[in-house]
Amino acid sequence: MYVAQPIEWTDRGVVILDQRLLPAEEISYTYTDYRDVAKAIREMVIRGAPAIGVAAAMGAALGVLHSSARSVDALAAEFGEICGTLAKTRPTAVDLFWALERMKKRFTELTGHSSDLVKIKQGMVEEAQQVHLEKRAIDEAIGRFGAEFMPREGHVMTQCNAGALATAGIGTALGVIRVAFEQGKKLHVFVPETRPYLQGARLTAWELHKGGIPLTLITDNMVGHFLKTANVGAIVTGADRIAANGDTANKIGTYQIAVLAREHNVPFYIAAPISTFDLSIPDGDHIPIEERAASEVTHLQGVRIAPDVHAAHPAFDVTPARFIAAIFTERGVARAPYTDSLRALASPAQAVKV
């Protein structure tokens, strides 16, 4: 089945598919400067929590690879700047910070063992590639756990895009749907368009269509209607950050879907890697919510659709844990009380080699 490739490490540089242009055009750029990778993350050339993490890891490796530093100390100072620049791109998806921490840890290991700059650079490139490989294996595992919860046939729903484009693997929420579909479950997916950035209409509809999975595209204000009338068996979305108590930040609009799901007795699931957990914060009130340009609300693909008035654009919202039936991860399924189940899954003893 078709799997989109949003990012790839190549000998020429980091190749990133411009998701802003989908589905009209499939254009990729090759990046050789980490600052341009940071800009690509900020401007949503690449988006989706795990894919942002992969881009940050590759950006960090790119920065080290092309550094002209002549000593480990000079390289370390530059690496600090590289990580700082990449960290300032998008605030909500914790995968970004997870990936940078992982690259910092590897940098410390490499520089602790050797002062050979060529070896250090090579080690950092390998680590970024390893992050990408692991993301792929993680998605497959999430997909297998989550597919069990999908109905044998009938309607399911998602939100935003948590597919291959968003993870650089097979996707988290869409990975679950994809694995269930490949297992022979006859699913039909309701895809809310996900205003204002239209990740549902532009990206999820594109991925499902290319993968041969039946779908119905709906506008965001149709969700209640279809949950009431269309016998939806499950809803599964991705996540950008999951607090210790299970409160989950995901694309704006997810919260209202979860509340409507409760009203209509439809199980609402989250599919996300452990790297999306942020156990350092007790609940969703501590999750920073990215505020994006109001012009993304007043304009649609560059065309003004509203008068010149104040408009708000929080890019994410937080779904309280009590609306979440289960969280699918690569190490298994977390259930309430999440404070216990998330901590258990995150413990190193649970770690699986992927």
Count of all residues that appear for the chain in the document: 354
Query: Pick from 94, 138, 141, 239: which binds ligand MRU (CB under 6 A)?
Result: 239
Q: Which stretch binds ligand MRU (CB under 6 A): 45-53, 69-77, 319-327, 340-348?
A: 45-53
Of 123 and 200, the one with the shorter C-beta distance to ligand MRU is 200
Longest dimension (CA), the chain: 66
Of 111 and 199, the one with the shorter C-beta distance to ligand MRU is 199
Rule CB under 6 A: is residue 329 a binding residue for ligand MRU?
no
Alpha-carbon dihedral 299, 303, 309, 311, rounded to 10 degrees = 0
Query: Pick from 38, 40, 93, 208: which binds ligand MRU (CB under 6 A)?
Result: 93
Query: Residue 173, CB half-sphere, CA atoms under 13 Å: how many?
Result: 32
Reply yes or no on whether 240 is catalytic: yes
**DSSP secondary-structure letter at 44?**
T
Separation of alpha carbons 301 and 215, rounded Å: 23
Query: Pick from 167, 204, 319, 341: which binds ligand MRU (CB under 6 A)?
Result: 167
Rule CB under 6 A: is residue 166 a binding residue for ligand MRU?
yes
Q: Which stretch binds ligand MRU (CB under 6 A): 110-118, 233-241, 260-268, 346-354?
A: 233-241
From the candidates 95, 240, 247, 278, give the one annotated as an active-site residue: 240
Rule CB under 6 A: is residue 317 a binding residue for ligand MRU?
no
Separation of alpha carbons 239 and 271, rounded Å: 7
Which residue, judged by CB position, is nearest to ligand MRU in the bound state?
238
CB contact burial 262-286 (16+ within 10 A = b; e otherwise): eeeebbbbbbbbbbbbbeebeebee
**3-state SS assignment for residue 209:** helix
Residues that bind ligand MRU (CB under 6 A): 47-50, 93, 160, 162, 166-167, 172, 199, 237-240, 250-251, 315
